[in-house]
Amino acid sequence: MKLNYKIIFHFLGLLLLFNGGFMLLSALVSLIYKDGVTFQIFLAGIITLLVGVVSMVFTRRHKKEINKREGYIVVSFGWVIMSLSGTLPYVLTESIPSFTNAFFETMSGYTTTGASILNDIEAVPKGILFWRSLTHWIGGMGIIVLAIAILPLLGIGGMQLFAAEAPGPSADKLHPRITDTAKRLWLIYFGYTAAETLLLSVAGMSFFDAINHSLCTLSTGGFSTKNASIAYWNGQPLIQYIIILFMFLAGTNFVLSYFAFKGKIQKVIHDEEFKLYFKFIAIFTIIAAVIIYFRADISKSSIVHPMVWGEAESAFRHGLFQVLSVITTTGFVTADYTLWTPFLVVLFFGLMFLGGSAGSTSGGVKVVRHLILIKNSFLEFKRTLHPNAIIPVRYNNKAINRFIVFNVLAFFILYMLSFIIGALVFSMFEINFKSAIGLAASTLGNVGPALGDFGPVNNYAALPPLAQWWACFLMLIGRLELFTVLILFTPFFWRNR
């Protein structure tokens, strides 16, 4: 079957319309704060909108069905096209004059990685900072899910797109129609963002800082409007606890949030992935807090205002914040955790491979995959003793299809291979071992802060241009869960049958 190129370009044009609209919103913010770059951001939005309109007009006559191959192409190229167009506000305002740097910042935004090349964030115009945060928010729930919500207007079914974009081994549907599912997910996403903005404003953040950090928290992104990230508010613990709460929510399956709002609390409590996610956070927080309290010198690792409510509370807060930030791949920092003893450095490095829940905005491997891997590994012992017995892996008291188990195993192997190859390529640019493995784990897992020269209190400005492009590729395949992008590199994908 030949590819329907018209529908592919039609979708890409639609995505550019979304992007251009959000740029115009950023131009409005720029106008309100009179930062001097309103026209440039407005021009970027108009250019993006025009390209999107032209693409949609020339492809308006197309078949109304999209198959799985076309879905994968739209998702993968959609993220690239969005990132390419997303560089315009940076380049036209000369906030980031280098195209390579601008593309890196934009890809980091859409993939919710949060790695930045900006040396002085606070000197950047407010309209650009808002656009930077918006790239996180757009990418957080998935550009394609946003497009699916309006597909009825085009008379197109979007199940193929949702399958390629779904953030986990399977996509829980809240409603039989996929468009209604997308709408409900976005409603929850928007509601959480608005709630966090309100709470942060009441807690003492300026409204501009509050809305930017809310956009970046719910998307588990990590961009901040301050050079010191969340450490800027180390003297205001309440602000950090609010961000902790919403990082936790952003790292959970949004379907569970929907069930909670519908009063189906039992479905949340008994969900195996949620229980393991909560246990991981609790166990690693206790370990981190105890070691910070007895072994680490918080005053050296914190950027500003090390302790406010006492040493025990400070150790607990910093430990909880950083554990959640790394597990959910948000990437905010309250301190330089690489100074918290070698054991904690290794621990946080390991947490980069954990990830949040499937169906969340987090990156990484995802908790449900670890759960299936662990269960299947233990069952191998039983299968060894009873080779003729049929012992399926169970999840939430239901037997899992063996093809899903094979998919999870293949994903994990491919993920680790991508990490090893990623680190090897970084080392080719004369990046030291610690920094190379940190970069590979962080970009592939969409975490943000890495290790070594690219740790929590550093940025990615020192990364060579070619290494930045490699990092962008790792961010993209990590955000789209490997298969969606890597399948495009297989010969059989492009064969017409």
pLDDT in tens, 214-241: 999 999 999 999 999 999 998 899 999 9
In the numeric block, which tokens belong to residue 359?
């169906």
**Hunting for tokens 């315009």 — which residue is that?**
88
pLDDT tier for residue 72 given thresholds of 50, 70 and 90 = confident
19-67 confidence digits (pLDDT tens)? 999 999 999 999 999 999 999 999 999 999 999 999 999 887 766 677 7
Q: Looking at residue 65, what is its pLDDT?
A: 72
Asked whether residue 149 carries a pLDDT value surpassing 50, the answer given is: no
CA distance 10 to 237: 48
> DSSP states of 390-440 as a string?
----EETTEEPPHHHHHHHHHHHHHHHHHHHHHHHHHHTTT--HHHHHHHH
Q: Looking at residue 159, what is its pLDDT?
A: 47
Asked whether residue 191 carries a pLDDT value surpassing 60, the answer given is: yes
Q: Looking at residue 472, what is its pLDDT?
A: 97
In the numeric block, which tokens belong to residue 163?
């399958």
In whole numbers, what is the pLDDT of the chain averaged over residues?
87
Q: Looking at residue 143, what is its pLDDT?
A: 58
Q: Looking at residue 301, what is its pLDDT?
A: 56
**Hunting for tokens 């166990």 — which residue is that?**
283
Asked whether residue 169 carries a pLDDT value surpassing 80, the answer given is: no
Alpha helices (H) in 334-401, listed in sequence order: 341-351, 367-385
0.85 surpassed by pTM? yes
Are 178 and 166 in contact by the 8 Å Cβ rule? The answer is no
